[in-house]
Amino acid sequence: MQLTGDQRAILNGERGPYLATCMRWLVEWGEVMGARRLVRCDNTHALLPVPNLMARGASRQTIDTYIGGLREACSHHTAPGCYCTVHTAFVTLDDLRVPENDPEQVRLQRELSDMAAAAGFIPTFTCAPYLVGNVPLRGEICAWTESSAVVYANSILGARTTRHGNESAIAASLLGLVPEFGVLLDENRKGTLRIEVSAALTCPTDWGALGYFAGRLAGLGIPVFNGAGRPSQDDAKQLCAALATSGGVTMCHVVGVTPEAPTLAAAFQDDVPGEFVPFTADTLRDTYASLRKHTGDEVDSVILGCPHASIREIAEIAALIKGKRVAPGVRLWVDTARATKGGADAMGYTAAIEEAGGRILCDTCPTNLRIAARRIVTHGFKQAHYARGMVGAEVIVARTEACIRAAVAGRWTGDE
Amino acid sequence: MTSSLLIRGRGVVKGRAEGEALVADATLSFWGEVDPITGTVIAAGHPLEGESLRGKVLVIRSTKGSSGTPMILNLARLEGNAPVAFVNLEVDSLAALGCIVNGIPMITGLEQDPFAVIRTGDRVEVDADLGFLRVTPRVA
């Protein structure tokens, strides 16, 4: 890879050993991925979580080493002009009295949050930075962690980011550089799989089903959705999250919506394959069924806001639950960013949800917290997929209205 | 004595390692599908569900999903539970990053289908510096 004199100097330790390590990560990663140079990056979404492994037997040394790395990162300053936001934590910084929100871990995370803020990161603690002000412009080079947000940035906003891990996003935040490979280059943004959508998609979870189905087929490729119509922002969020759950997708094209895909031909850079995979009403039904394997109907947890809820979703949930009560023993959690909850507090939505017996959870999500649950109803395919393994729960994925009905009834009552 | 098989490939992340093969013609996300404390695959219904990655040569199509892959790989390594090498059909940029940061060799582009010639339990020597695998079948 060709480096400038300044870049080589950093690699050789001119700005200290930590930045030299950051540069080495970017350079080696770039070389492995076929990059020819580093390019300027003015937008990052970094991962700075205190691991939630202490209670489950991780050694003190593991935790100390890991947190030591994050503290080291936060003792430097973000690159001038770089807009840096922060991904979710494994705890909520709020005073949530559940065993999973370990006070020691919360203390460490708060400390790290303050250090990150002093270093120039905005401690958003969200998986959906594009809902809380970090909305990159078309063509903007970003270094984002959170696979669902990466797909959203590339596919819906027309920004450009490869899928980053914590080390590369930290390095990009501090150096303002990323290796130029993958979807940063026009030729790698060409569709690889054509999906013709004939199913009617009527809610965000339906779009999640489309993504969950397509991600499995696309692998590391770029699916193109034709005939799906126009998604809402919340629809697009579910589509992108599910694609990055069942597959290693970095971007997709929704024909007519993705900025660079006004037509099917444009999505494939004028090389449209004749072969396609249909997504029919039957496929839609089967995809739901694949994440609905449950041995009973009683429900203990209803989880909304995966990825983190938008203010509109919170408004809808508040309206749906108004005048009702969550059944005893059922946890109704709406997960969102602290910034969004601030708005929900001011607008009265939080009070409406809390009056009904629900709560708004910030900074993290139930799978990151690893809540104890036996049967979860959720509107997010991503949450449903990972909760089975991480929480060990049975899951039922369903549209928001059906989730709210389940919360009120204390059991799964079906789609209608 | 069983004879071993030499397969050439492309060393993506340099280094050498040796271990028992863990093979699945599947993708895997480290965040959410691997528990770094036990080193086991926790994804319900995954072909490797319940298997330990500790010390293994992980032969899968590629990693997928979450950007937490390098982080979980890092935590698993600190706990002594990481695989010793990756043998993948496709290079997922996150697995590559995780391997670079953690000093784990990775090889791809094998001249033979790894799922046809490597079985779980085989002894595999990975040389990503020179770009080959040496597979010694386990004694049945």
* B75 contacts A56? CB cut-off 8 A: no
Residue A391 has a pLDDT of: 86
- Asked if the Cβ–Cβ distance from A145 to B67 is below 8 Å, we say yes
Residues A166 and A224 occupy one common structural domain: no
* Cβ of residue A245 closer than 8 Å to a chain B Cβ: yes
In a domain, A42, yes or no: yes
Do both A306 and A401 map to the same domain? yes
- Total domains present in chain B: 1
Amino acid at position A243, single letter: L
A25, A62, A219 ranked by CB distance to B100: nearest: A25
**From the candidates B66, B67, B74, B77, which should be mutated to test the interface with A, based on the most A CB atoms within 10 A?**
B67
Please report the pLDDT score of residue A49 as a whole number: 94
The pLDDT value recorded for residue A341 is 98
- Domain range for A272 is 190-290
How many angstroms separate the CA atoms of A174 and A69, rounded?
14
B103's CB contacts (< 8 A; 6+ apart) are B15
Query: Is there a single domain that holds both residue A26 and residue A105?
Result: yes
The pLDDT value given to residue B1: 56
- A28 — contact with chain B (CB < 8 Å)? yes
- Residues in chain B closer than 8 A to A219 (CB atoms): 27, 61-62, 64, 90
| Residue A133 contacts B, CB cutoff 8 Å | no
Q: Does A34 reach chain B within 8 Å, measured CB to CB?
A: no
Mark whether A285 and A310 lie in a shared domain: no
Asked if A201 and A113 sit in the same domain, the reply is no
ipTM: 0.93
How many Cβ pairs closer than 8 A exist between chain A and B?
119
Average pLDDT, chain B: 94
Count of domains forming chain A: 3
Which residue has tokens 């429900």?
A: A299
How many Cβ atoms sit within 10 Å of the Cβ of residue A322?
A: 11
pLDDT digits (tens, 9 = 90+) for B53-90: 999 999 999 998 788 899 999 999 999 999 999 999 99
**Pairing label, strands B56-60, B16-23:** parallel
Together in a domain, A14 and A156: yes
Pair (A172, A212) in one structural domain: no
* Residue A371: both structure tokens together: 């809540």
Cβ-contact B51, B16 below 8 angstroms: no
CB distance A220–B96 less than 8 Å? Answer: no
Active site residues of B: 66
**Looking at the domain assignment, is residue A268 inside a domain?**
yes
Give the domain-ending residue among A168, A184, A200.
A184
Question: Is residue A296 situated within a structural domain?
Answer: no
Residues A61 and A172 in one domain: yes
Cβ of A25 and B74 within 8 Å?
no
Q: The domain containing residue B11 runs over which residues?
A: 5-136
CATH number, domain containing residue B91: 3.50.30.10
Same domain, A174 and A220: no
Which pLDDT score, from 0 to 100, does residue A54 have? Answer: 67
Contact A348/A32 with Cβ under 8 angstroms?
Answer: no
Using CB atoms, which residue from B45, B63, B96 is nearest to A32?
A: B96
Closest C-alpha to B134, from B54, B23, B25, B18: B18
The predicted structure's pLDDT at residue B44: 87
User: A12 exposed, middle or buried (CB, 10 Å; 0-12, 13-18, 19+)?
Assistant: exposed
Amino acid at A153: A
Residues of B in contact with A169 (CB under 8 A): 67
Coil vs helix vs strand at A68: helix
User: Which domain CATH number covers A402?
Assistant: 3.30.499.10
Q: If residue A167 lies in a helix (H) or strand (E), which one and from where to where?
A: helix A166-175
The helices-and-strands tally (H runs, E runs) of chain B is 3, 12
Whether residue A171 sits in one domain with residue A202: no
Identify all chain B residues contacting A146, using CB atoms and an 8 Å cutoff: 67
Question: Are B70 and A165 an interchain contact pair (Cβ–Cβ within 8 Å)?
Answer: yes
The C-alpha of A212 sits at a distance from chain B's nearest C-alpha, in angstroms, of 11
The token duo for A124 is 């958003």
Q: Is A295 within the bounds of a domain? A: no
Given a cut of 70, the residues of chain A with pLDDT beneath it are 54-55
Over the stretch A51-61, which tens digit does the pLDDT of each residue have? Answer: 877 667 889 99
B47 CA to chain A: closest CA distance, Å?
A: 13
Beta bridge partners of A242: none
Q: Does A126 lie in the same domain as A10?
A: yes
Asked if omega into A307 is within 30° of 0 (cis), the reply is yes
Instruction: Identify whether residues A9 and A108 lie together within a single domain.
Output: yes
Q: At which of A290, A323, A342 does a domain end?
A: A290
User: pTM of the prediction?
Assistant: 0.95
Distances (CA, A) of A351 to A28, A325, A337, A342: 50, 13, 17, 12
